[in-house]
Each structure stands twice: as C-alpha cells, then as structure tokens.
Structure 1
C-alpha cells in the first residue's frame, strides 16, 4: 500500500491547506476560549490552526508535528514531536487542539489521552477531521473515480478512517476522560476556478489521494482523471463549486 505523504508544505497548501484555514477559523470561534491563553496545536502542519488561534487572541500557540518538512514552513512557535507521546509536562495548556491530523495517528486513543494530560484543569480539548465518507466532496469524488478506474487498488479515506464521524469522535473524547463533550459539523464552500484548478493539486504528492495517484502508472492515472472528470459538476462559467464538511469535537478536562 502507498503510504500517506506529509512533507512539502506548498503542495499541501494547494491541495487541502487552503480549505483547512477556513474551517480553522470557524472551529476556533466555536471553542470560545477566552483570549490570552496558552494553546497547543498537536499535528500543527503548516500552521493553519495555530494562525486562527492567534487571530482569536491566544497569547501563545505551541505547535507540535512529526513532519520536519512542514515545520520548516511553519513560521510559528513549533517543535517536532509525536501526538501519542507529547514532549511536554502535564496540566499546562488552556486549549489543546488538533486540525485534520488525529485520524492519521496510529492509535488515536493514545493521542486523545495525551491531549487530556497536557490540558490544564478546566482547559478545552478539541479537534476536527474531514468527513471523508460523505461530506468532503472534492475527495469523495476522487475516491469514487479511483474505485472505478482501479478496483481494489485505492486507499479510500472514507473506509480507512471510521473515526471521522460524530459518534466515534465523541466516544474517543469521553474515553479520554473529558467532560462536556460536544460534536458539530463545520461546512465550507470549496470553489475551483476550472477543471485544472481542481485537478492540479492532486498531482502534488501530499496527502492520501495525491500519494495514491503518484504511485500509479501513467495509464491508470489517466483512467482516474477521466473517471473523475465525468463526475465533477462544472458550472456554465467553467467553475466547480463543491462543499467540504469537517466534524469537530470538543471537551473539557475535569
């Protein structure tokens, strides 16, 4: 199986980072953490969620991520680390957040327990993940096309990540000992100027779908492209207007 690739920040931004930034703002507003606090962004990547936290008034945001490539392109306060074993003392942060990363962590229960450990008593612990099964349309269309063009060869994130649904997310937070658990959908428009604007980011190699595509020979890549092009709805002006839904979960450390 082709592994997911997370290393080149610019390619990631073109693929999904630009959409993550819009979700991050709504997510942070929903958390309503008082300004002036200390935040941890676990799986910070190129810094979309960290930036939203700073815009909302966080006094300091520390980012942790295992990808040195992403960290080099993250201008914030950041360090290398594993979400399952955070290199930080406990009971420290007013808010511990994670954006689009939790489902890629082997053993997410360990990560959720670590999030709870480093949060201060009364602190907010929260995360969001794409709704790969249904609501993240740009990816859903891709994986449906891949299943047609390359039966049995895909890495469909909808099937791979059962965590990315409301009930499993809420259960994960409760099992980590967090209270006042709530889950909500965050949906944003994802508008592409034309077919090439939609297709080109899949060629960047960053993330599950682009990594899968890069592992195919040219003939299969073209088969996926054509199967996808038949599925994508195109407006009269050539634009492609889709939506992206993420599921967000929050809780409070007792």
Structure 2
C-alpha cells in the first residue's frame, strides 16, 4: 500500500500534532546546555514550535528555520512569539542539503523531523557541517513504536479494520525513532564528539477534551495517519473511528476527557 504523506497546511497540522509538539519543544530546549545570544538553526522547523521555544528560552542572536513546506513556513512566520522578531528568518530547504554555509551556527536543532528524511545520516552530516567547532547538535522524534499513545491507538485500530494499514504504521516505518539508532547516528557523524552524545526521553501528557477532540484532527489530511485516513472509503473511516472509540474507553475520565502519555527520544551531542 502506497500513500504519500502530505505536509502543506499549517492550521490542520497544529490541531493534529502541533499543539503537542509545542509542549515537547519547551521541555526539549530547557534540557539543552546552550547559551543566550548565539546563532541557532532549526531544521525542519514546520510551523515554528521549536523556533518559538528557543527564542523564549535562549534569546538567540539569530535563528534560521528551514523547511521544505512553504505552507508550514507561512504559519511559522505568523506564530506568536516569532512574528515581528528580526532575529528569526525562514527559508525553504532540504535537511540533506542545507542552504547554510559551513560553521555558520552555534546550535542546530531539529524536532519531529529526522524520521521523514530519506537519508537520516546525510542530514546529520549536514547538521555537523553547518555547526561551528564545539557547536551543539540536537534533535528529538516521537517514540512511534511504544510511546506516542494517540498514534499507537490510531494505527492499532486502523490495522484491525484494514490490515493493509499496518504497512503505513509509523512504528514500523520509522525504526530510527529508538535510542540506539539515534545514538549511532550522532556518534558516527563526522566531527561529532562521540563521548558527548546522550539520548534521553522527553515526555508530556496529551489530554483531549472528549473523543471528538482526539478524532477530528485525524481528518485534517496533514501527516501520515491523516493522509492515510483521507485515502480510504467512508465505511472504513467510520469503522476505524468506532474501533478507536472502543480502544480509548478505559482512558476516558468521568468528564469525558481522555488522557494519554506521549514520549519523544531526544539525542544531543557536541562537535569536537
């Protein structure tokens, strides 16, 4: 089964995953051993959650956001905390071929992106190329296999209704999103101080006001699960919805809200 992931419209992405990526970004930047007033690069910046968190926490002298989606960049430019900030710029670009000179930044970060890059090792090599000596290089990805419960619940429900959906399950598609593969990517990248590399979890609670608050964002057509859902028949879509509703019943509180845990793996290292 082949479905091409769509990443075009920032608004439905924000309702789907963006609201949770903001929380992760804030915790991630707090964990970094960075400095105020230095040069940052946000690779695969999307709608700007990580860029905004870096500005708020570290007040960079400059921060460049790079992303292949002009639609997402448009949302980033208008994001509260970014709009009107002279130090923030955004350009269309590819993580494997960054439009940035060698040794141009002091911190390279990337949030929830690395698994979507065709050649992750090439992307990390680009991270180290553009970072100055001693620079900080860090990223985080969802733990699709075990730790991102809203997506785990969706794909389990989808596969029970449509076995072909298991081929698109992000837990299967993205084996890089585990501690050891991430550690190996960083440790093996040119110029990285392997002894500095660490991998650690960053966890948040995702609380949905009711089942519709959980389900409706999957209809927005942005990202792997919503793209898949847009490709199936109405009957299949309704069956997945009903199976997912049954699955989350144990996590539903007396007020109708649904609480789930979400985990990312963060990998952090410095150039020698």
Which TM-score band (shorter chain)? over 0.9
Task: Tell me the equivalent position of 1:247.
Answer: 265
> How far 1:151 sits from its partner (Å)?
0.7
Task: Tell me the equivalent position of 2:69.
Answer: 67
Deviations along 1:101-125, one digit per CA (max 9) or x if unpaired, are 1100001100000000000100100
Task: Tell me the equivalent position of 1:188.
Answer: 204
Using structure 1 for the length normalisation, give the TM-score: 0.98
Task: Tell me the equivalent position of 2:189.
Answer: 176
Instruction: Please tell me the root mean square deviation across aligned C-alpha atoms, in Å.
Output: 0.8
1:10 and 2:28 are equivalent in the alignment? no
Task: Tell me the equivalent position of 2:246.
Answer: 230
Report the number of matched residues: 254
The answer for unaligned runs of 5 or more in structure 1 is none
Q: Which runs of at least 4 in structure 1 moved beyond 2 Å after TM superposition?
A: none
> How far 1:59 sits from its partner (Å)?
1.8
Task: Tell me the equivalent position of 2:157.
Answer: 145
**Secondary structure of 1:24's partner?**
helix
> How far 1:87 sits from its partner (Å)?
1.0
> How far 1:153 sits from its partner (Å)?
2.9
> How far 1:70 sits from its partner (Å)?
0.6
In 1, Cα distance between equivalents of 2:105 and 2:32? 14
Using structure 2 for the length normalisation, give the TM-score: 0.92
In 2, Cα distance between equivalents of 1:20 and 1:133? 17
Task: Tell me the equivalent position of 2:230.
Answer: 214
Task: Tell me the equivalent position of 2:172.
Answer: 159
> How far 1:152 sits from its partner (Å)?
2.1
1:204 and 2:206 are equivalent in the alignment? no
Task: Tell me the equivalent position of 2:83.
Answer: none
The answer for unaligned runs of 5 or more in structure 2 is 78-87
Deviations along 1:146-190, one digit per CA (max 9) or x if unpaired, are 110001234100000000000000000011131210000000000
Deviations along 1:206-238, one digit per CA (max 9) or x if unpaired, are 111000000001011011111111101211110
In 2, Cα distance between equivalents of 1:125 and 1:212? 33
Determine if contact 1:234/1:241 at 8 Å carries over to the other structure: yes
In 2, Cα distance between equivalents of 1:111 and 1:28? 20
